[in-house]
Amino acid sequence: MADGSGAMVTPRQSRSELSTTRLINAAAELIAENGYERTTLAAIGKRAGYSHGIVTRRFGSKEGLLVALIEKMAMGWTETHLKPAVGSSTGREALHIRVDAFRASWRKSARRMRALYTLMFEALGPIPHLKLRMIELHGYSRESVAAVVQLGIDNGTVDGSVDAERVARLFVGALRGAAYQAMLDPDAIDIYDALDDLDLLVDSLLPAPSSIQPRSTQARSTQQQTAASDKKGASARG
């Protein structure tokens, strides 16, 4: 059997990769349900259909499993989904693509997203290794947002007065806040409405030259034209 690079993968390797994936998925499910502190290696093994021992052999400890989980949920997602989607985009478009990618991930696996955000907030507690991982994750997120904003400034699609690092702090903070509120009180906060609001925030934070219309302005213009057309049609029928 060959993997995506053409290298041969033995049946034993395939089984190992499958069991690793199952264990990580089980950990995400249990953390989403019970939190990190109340999730045990024994419970993870049982949920995945394996013994307690295989979890320890595979990851060494609960902390080792946590590292693998964050790598898969956050950094792995960035490399396999976000970066290819953003490509060479910069400025507003790059941030809109980030919002779209988050929206798609929520649709695909809301439980996994809940697990990641549960870990983010539990990092405020007395769990040093978790805190360090989350500091790294948020730092990377801000740096990558600031980088694409700065590229937009450099290529003239974003106003030169914009502070890229400030935009990064506001964008990452708004994204985290939208997800937290939607998970905490889904009856009051719809995640997709909140992400639409984030798209509006992106356009307000990154003013464009007058010749370029931000996405939200284009959408409002289309809606206004549609409404005017509908009103005209109704008048004609009346």
Supply 65's token pair: 């499993």
What is the pLDDT at residue 109? 85
pLDDT confidence of residue 107: 93
> Is the pLDDT assigned to residue 1 strictly greater than 70?
no
- pLDDT tens figures, 113-167: 889 888 998 899 888 888 999 999 999 999 999 999 999 999 999 999 999 999 9
Contact 117, 179 (CB under 8 A): yes
- The yes-or-no verdict on residue 43 having pLDDT over 50 is yes
Per-residue burial over 111-147, b = 16 or more CB atoms within 10 Å of its CB, e = otherwise:
ebbbbbbbbbebbeeebeebeebbeebbeebbebbbe
Across the range 103-120, mean pLDDT stands at 89
Domain boundaries, the chain: 63-209
pLDDT range class, residue 229, cuts 50, 70, 90: low
189 or 16: whose pLDDT is higher? 189
Could you give the C-alpha distances from 162 to 98, 138, 144, 175, 208, in angstroms and in order? Answer: 19, 21, 16, 19, 10
- pLDDT tens-digit profile of 186-221? 999 999 999 999 999 999 999 976 645 555 555 555
Per-residue pLDDT, 210: 62
Return d(Cα 147, Cα 145) in angstroms, integer: 5
Q: Is the model's pLDDT at 236 over the cut of 60?
A: no
pLDDT of residue 104: 93
Architecture of the CATH domain 63-209: Orthogonal Bundle (1.10)
Cα–Cα distance between 109 and 55 in angstroms, integer?
23
| Per-residue model confidence as pLDDT tens digits over 19-40 | 888 999 999 999 999 998 899 9
